């Protein structure tokens, strides 16, 4: 049996006070910027969407943004699969389009 990788261990907010991500108003903008450089932003967002987490900034999205996304895409049953597949396609395309030395 293989162990499943735990994305939480690589989360940027794991090394800081994660309470800073549970803010309101203009402070949410700062929290979203903090998430921008997190290596597991996709996994974090997918987790929040799959688990219906209602509060805080997760994966660079506020609760309001996540609710709007869920309303726009009621057909999605598994956000982790959808978002990780989309990321893989994006990076493959980006690699294919990169200029060759």
Query: Cα separations (Å) of 13 from 23, 26, 82?
Result: 14, 19, 23
- Give long-range contacts, CB 8 A cutoff, 24+ apart: 27-30: 28/57, 28/62
The response to whether 12 counts as a known ligand-binding position is no
The answer to whether the annotation marks 38 as part of a ligand binding site is yes
Residue 13 annotated as binding site: yes
The angle subtended at Cα 55 by Cα 41 and Cα 9, nearest 5°, is: 35
| Numbered residues of the known binding site | 13, 35, 38, 44
| Numbered residues of the known binding site for [4Fe-4S] cluster | 13, 35, 38, 44
């Amino acid at each position: 049996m293989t162990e499943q990788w735990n994305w939480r261990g690589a989360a940027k907010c794991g090394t800081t006070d994660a309470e800073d991500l549970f803010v309101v108003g203009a402070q949410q903008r700062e929290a979203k910027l903090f998430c921008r450089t997190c290596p597991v932003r996709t996994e974090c967002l997918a987790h929040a969407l799959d688990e219906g987490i209602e509060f805080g900034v997760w994966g660079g999205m506020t609760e309001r943004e996540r609710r709007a996304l869920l309303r726009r895409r009621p057909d999605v049953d598994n956000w982790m699969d959808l978002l990780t597949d989309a990321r893989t396609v994006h990076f493959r395309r980006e690699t294919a389009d990169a200029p060759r030395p």
